[in-house]
């Protein structure tokens, strides 16, 4: 995936604010043997790019000053409530240096697992991305996780899945964290689901009319004297 960036000469809060007014996003590229470079990127193009998963989890081709560099997204600062990218950081990529980054997990087969299909359990995705370490050429866009073997009361850990070749999990706290857990549906939840289904079921017009007639007759009947 590629994008176009332009060098910028001015830095500082005021310069960045004026740059954003013109529809550009300030940023920086660092790492490698070169000095850090201040850049600016068209905000609209960048806004569409960050919506793509590959922009966050793959090596990017940055066109800058007529040359193309391999970079990796490292930081993205967003406005707290406006659809505005305040600043963006990229790291130059060295083909021989291992990188540490987060990669999303793509789950599949959940509906076909015994836990869901036969036992009506709930599958909880506890972790949706993993910290990994690998060479740039081995960075996966995502890691596929097959859930077809899940059963009631079971769980899936990092060591239960096969990572792509050259990729290692980087533990931050837990050596073997839970990725997916399975929980049984409570009796109360089942009762609520049944009630909701009954409420959504089509009403028989004749039965409804008869019930309304009985209710009206009961209301019109005089109360018994004590």
| Burial zone of 40 (CB within 10 Å; 0-12 exposed, 13-18 middle, 19+ buried) | buried
Distances (CA, A) of 47 to 83, 140, 142: 9, 23, 21
Query: What is the pLDDT, as a whole number, of residue 10?
Result: 78
Q: 149-174 pLDDT, tens per residue?
A: 999 989 999 999 999 999 999 998 88
- Return residue ranges of the chain for CATH 2.40.240.10: 2-92
How much is the average pLDDT of 109-116? 93
Average model confidence (pLDDT) across the chain: 86
Distance, CA of 40 to CA of 62 (rounded, Å):
12
* Confidence check: pLDDT of 88 > 50: yes
* Confidence check: pLDDT of 196 > 60: no
Fold of 99-187: RNA Polymerase Alpha Subunit; Chain A, domain 2 (2.170.120)
Distance, CA of 29 to CA of 166 (rounded, Å):
26
Q: 34-46 pLDDT, tens per residue?
A: 899 999 999 999 9
The verdict on domain 2-92 having CATH code 2.40.240.10 is: yes
- Return residue ranges of the chain for CATH 2.170.120.20: 99-187
- Find out whether 68 and 10 touch, Cβ atoms under 8 Å: no
């Amino acid at each position: 995936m590629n994008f176009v960036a332009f060098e910028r000469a001015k830095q500082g809060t005021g310069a960045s604010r004026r740059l954003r007014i013109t529809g550009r996003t300030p940023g920086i590229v660092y790492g490698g043997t070169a000095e850090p470079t201040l850049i600016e990127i068209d905000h609209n193009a960048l806004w569409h790019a960050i919506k793509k998963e590959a922009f966050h989890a793959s090596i990017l081709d940055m066109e800058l000053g007529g040359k193309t560099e391999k970079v990796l997204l490292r930081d993205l600062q967003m406005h707290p409530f406006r659809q505005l990218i305040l600043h963006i950081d990229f790291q130059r990529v060295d083909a021989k240096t291992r990188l540490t980054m987060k990669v999303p997990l793509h789950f599949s087969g959940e509906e076909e697992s015994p836990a869901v299909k036969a036992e009506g359990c709930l599958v909880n995705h506890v972790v949706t991305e993993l910290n990994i370490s690998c060479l740039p050429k081995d960075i996966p866009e995502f890691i596929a996780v097959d859930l077809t073997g899940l059963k009631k009361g079971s769980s899936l850990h990092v060591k239960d899945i096969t990572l792509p070749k050259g990729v290692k999990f980087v533990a931050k706290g837990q050596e073997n964290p839970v990725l997916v857990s399975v929980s049984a549906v409570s009796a109360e939840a089942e009762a609520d689901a049944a009630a909701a289904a009954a409420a959504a079921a089509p009403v028989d017009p004749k039965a409804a009319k008869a019930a309304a007639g009985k209710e009206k007759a009961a209301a019109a009947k005089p109360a018994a004297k004590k």
